[in-house]
Amino acid sequence: MYKILVCIIICLAFTSAVLAEDESPFNIDLYYGWGGYYRPMEWTPVEITVYNSLKNAFNGELTLSSQQDGLNTLNIMVPEFDLTPELTIYQPLVTKIAYTSQGCNLKLDQVIGKRRKTVWSQPYESKLTPGKFPVLNEYDILIGIVGAGKFGLLSLGKQSVSYFKAASGSVQVETKQAAMVPWDWTGFVSLDLLVLYDPDWIQLQESQLKAIAEWVSNGGRLLLVLGSNPPMGNNPVINLIPFDFMDAKQVDISREQLYKWNLTGSDSETVTLKPLVPKSGAKFYEGVYQDNQCLFAVGNSGFGRIGVLGFDPYDFSALQGANQSRFWVNIIQAVLKAEVSVENTIIAQRRIEFVQDSSAAPVGTNVPVTGGSRPLVRSRSGYPGYYEIGSAYSLNNKVMEFLYSEIKPLSVWFVILLLGALAILLGPFDYKFLKHIDRLPLTWLTCSFWIILFTVGAYYGVQYIRGGKMQLKVVSVLDGIQDEDAAWATHYSGLFASRSDSYELDGLQPNQWWSGIAPTQDTLSAFSNEIGSRRIYCVQEDGGNLPESLPVNIWDIQCMLTESPLEKLPFSAEVRQNGDDVIITIKNESDAAIMGGYVLMDKNHGIYLSSVPAHGTQEFRQRNQPLPYWDNLIRQYSQAANNFRNEAAFFAQGTLQRTQAINNYLSKGASLVCVTYDKAPISFGVKDHTFSYEHVQLARLVVFPNSEGIEND
């Protein structure tokens, strides 16, 4: 008995020693999105924190892998960094996650020269499994808060619903500490509104402020609530705001104004106000004024929209506590506001409405909501296990039809014919031939021969059938605003190669964000077994996500989406109106000629343009004429046009938010100049390979031919 006890103690000691030796010195936390909420197939922020109990330092490399759609898996690599014993590493990233994704995998490699040794790897699944964790769709509103979030703002989701087209959705309000604010503009893409509620500006780094400014410039919406920590000095966000702030003063807000904000108007409220004054050159802004002092203002900034509340509503008395959500709905809707030219179209934007209890939001059809102004209908994606893609993804499919055109995948009939011929040879032909020569036992040898022959034949046969030059097709949309540093580019590209392999690209710009795109059904099911079979490897640093290699399958085409800010558009324009005559001067600064285009003076009037040579200047003088081009364009793509036109790219992923802003500008008196380039050069290529390319480049410029507009409430 004593010997047995000794053996047990020795075994336990040995097991403990082994376990202690195998215990990892790393503890890595990973958090997705804003409070965990994300929109499938959209850029979403990821926060990675690496803790360690190392004894010796080494060079490390992180790789985050996640399925981003039904075809592609995005592998994001962080360049080498030093892992110092006991030192915590914080690494923010941005990725895309598919609705059908079962999670992601994070691994840490030790870099030894050119070799990589995996020292830690772990899947993250539980919070991403569809049905177990909510995802956001086109009908939902996601509000991110940086700062205090006082006066009932954090509980807004419980007393409001979103409205988009004819369906209702939820309102989610999530916060981030200043240190956790994304470092790149793509980290804000999933937000409908970012609220900077009296944040501690000192804690926000330059890269974070630049990211917010770029996101707003590309179509984001920002609400700034001023309080005891006014923004100091010069930073990218303040430079983007179309208003200046005056010195703080005590102001009594009248009962009439409180009533307009849906607050209790029994008595005035005293607040500390920093009156707002529009900057010189500010266009299309509106404000709430009292005694010639601006309390709240909203204005366009780039392709985005910014609202500024000149005081902290937390200064209100306790009498206003019951109406906090009504107040915020009023303020937020003013920032989200957008003109809609055609009812229930893809140009529509989300609205927010007050309800007594958001849990009472309808699940059926045509059920009125208490407190709402119209009946709301829950979308199908409100049912567990189903997700409806947004309208931008439907138009992605149209753009990809063009990318696939004339580069058709290998016909399935080739596969059927090959397998049929192999079946005949392995079956009746082989049997009759061997029986005829009385050598049936040799069937194992002849079958092996036919299989090897067909394997080699299939490989080289496909190469022969699919042989030819490598081809690259690109659709580009370049957007800008006159006299503003707001220019953006979106590229949709398709690469075909006659040999399955991974290909490197060159000529990439460091501020570009690359990701794969794939054809997507209108409704996705969580029960689908789709997996991202193509692995795209990207390096994410310095404000960009650049592919190291693209996997191209001979059976198909690899499609990619690229988004990036531009220094300027390849053309400039001046628009003047003299009575019914329109005078347009276009200066083409590109190496490619402008084929033609049009100028919209409003949504239903304008003129068509002819060609402009490369590096040439051309003046057009025509009579303004009915040109119901814009509304017809919106109506066509809202009804899922059957035929591809170049303009489909205006409503696709990465561009739709700017088209919505352009629609807003046209509603307020701005004009739009849109041109198409002839054989424009592309900025990137395939390394060490020759290829032919086809490039459809569209460029749009918002111009201001008339005087500035000011609306006062």
Regions of the chain with pLDDT less than 50 = 6, 8, 12-21, 126-132, 341, 362-380, 707-713
What CATH code is carried by the domain that includes residue 89?
A: 2.60.40.10
541-574 pLDDT per residue, tens:
888 999 998 888 877 789 999 999 999 999 999 9
| Residue 141 near residue 350 (C-beta atoms within 8 A) | yes
Q: Is 407 strand, coil or helix?
A: coil
* φ, ψ (nearest 5 deg) of residue 300: -75, 140
| Residue 303 near residue 217 (C-beta atoms within 8 A) | yes
| Residue 153 near residue 195 (C-beta atoms within 8 A) | yes
Q: In angstroms, rounded to a whole number, what is the distance separating the alpha carbons of residues 350 and 365? A: 19
Same domain, 454 and 601: no
Same domain, 611 and 480: yes
Our CA angle for 688, 456, 73, nearest 5°, is: 50
Same domain, 60 and 147: no
Q: In angstroms, rounded to a whole number, what is the distance separating the alpha carbons of residues 614 and 693? A: 19
| 7 lies in some domain | no
H-helix segments, 525-585: none
| 612 lies in some domain | yes
Q: In angstroms, rounded to a whole number, what is the distance separating the alpha carbons of residues 296 and 333? A: 13
Same domain, 333 and 364: yes
**Residue of 153, 303, 152, 87 whose CA lies nearest to 214:** 303
Q: Could you list the residue range(s) of the whole structural domain that residue 320 is in?
A: 135-385
Helix (H) or strand (E) holding 31: strand 26-32
Same domain, 461 and 546: no
Q: Is 236 strand, coil or helix?
A: helix
Same domain, 150 and 57: no
Structure-block tokens of residue 705: 């031919």
Q: How many helices (H) and strands (E) does the chain have?
A: 11, 42
Q: In angstroms, rounded to a whole number, what is the distance separating the alpha carbons of residues 97 and 641? A: 28
Q: In angstroms, rounded to a whole number, what is the distance separating the alpha carbons of residues 294 and 301? A: 18
Output the furthest CA–CA distance in the chain (Å, rounded). Answer: 111
Our CA angle for 200, 205, 208, nearest 5°, is: 100
Same domain, 418 and 361: no
DSSP tag of 14: H
Mean of the per-residue pLDDT values of the chain: 83
| 591 lies in some domain | yes
What is the number of domains present in the chain? 4
Q: In angstroms, rounded to a whole number, what is the distance separating the alpha carbons of residues 302 and 194? A: 16
Q: On the CB side of 379, how many CA atoms lie within 13 Å of its CA?
A: 24
pTM above threshold 0.75: yes
Report the amino acid identity of residue 48. Answer: I
The pLDDT, as a whole number, for residue 134 is: 66
Q: In angstroms, rounded to a whole number, what is the distance separating the alpha carbons of residues 494 and 471? A: 8
What CATH code is carried by the domain that includes residue 150?
A: 3.40.50
H-helix segments, 284-411: 324-336, 391-404
Q: In angstroms, rounded to a whole number, what is the distance separating the alpha carbons of residues 103 and 30? A: 12
Residue for token pair 């079946």: 423
| 668 lies in some domain | yes
| 8 lies in some domain | no
**Residue of 569, 518, 519, 516 whose CA lies nearest to 545:** 516
Q: Is 222 strand, coil or helix?
A: strand
Same domain, 496 and 399: yes
- The residue from 434, 449, 465 where one domain ends is 465
What distances in angstroms separate CA 435 from CA 158, 327, 426, one per listed residue?
A: 80, 90, 13
| 15 lies in some domain | no
The pLDDT, as a whole number, for residue 112 is: 87
What distances in angstroms separate CA 313 from CA 93, 151, 325, one per listed residue?
A: 34, 6, 12
**Residue of 336, 369, 388, 345 whose CA lies nearest to 138:** 388
| Residue 683 near residue 597 (C-beta atoms within 8 A) | no
Same domain, 257 and 361: yes
Q: In angstroms, rounded to a whole number, what is the distance separating the alpha carbons of residues 189 and 219? A: 9
| Residue 450 near residue 426 (C-beta atoms within 8 A) | yes
Q: In angstroms, rounded to a whole number, what is the distance separating the alpha carbons of residues 49 and 27? A: 8
Q: In angstroms, rounded to a whole number, what is the distance separating the alpha carbons of residues 202 and 147? A: 12
Structure-block tokens of residue 52: 């360690």
| 199 lies in some domain | yes
| Residue 227 near residue 175 (C-beta atoms within 8 A) | no
Q: Is 12 strand, coil or helix?
A: helix
Structure-block tokens of residue 97: 């996650």
* Contact residues for 380 (Cβ-Cβ < 8 A; gap 6+): 386, 388, 523
The pLDDT, as a whole number, for residue 360 is: 53
Long-range contacts from 441-445, C-beta under 8 angstroms, 24+ separation: none
Q: What is the dihedral of CA 264, 268, 270, 272, to 10 degrees?
A: 80
| Residue 225 near residue 274 (C-beta atoms within 8 A) | no
Our CA angle for 321, 324, 326, nearest 5°, is: 135
Structure-block tokens of residue 514: 């690359």
The pLDDT, as a whole number, for residue 160 is: 92
The pLDDT, as a whole number, for residue 644 is: 61
Same domain, 709 and 573: yes
Same domain, 485 and 447: no
Say how far residue 239 (Cα) sits from the centre of its chain: 24
Rg (CA), the chain: 30
Q: Is 428 strand, coil or helix?
A: helix
**Sign of dihedral through CA atoms 214, 303, 283, 612?**
positive
Same domain, 34 and 104: yes
The pLDDT, as a whole number, for residue 365 is: 34
Q: In angstroms, rounded to a whole number, what is the distance separating the alpha carbons of residues 173 and 34? A: 9
**Residue of 380, 355, 379 whose CA lies nearest to 368:** 355
| 616 lies in some domain | yes
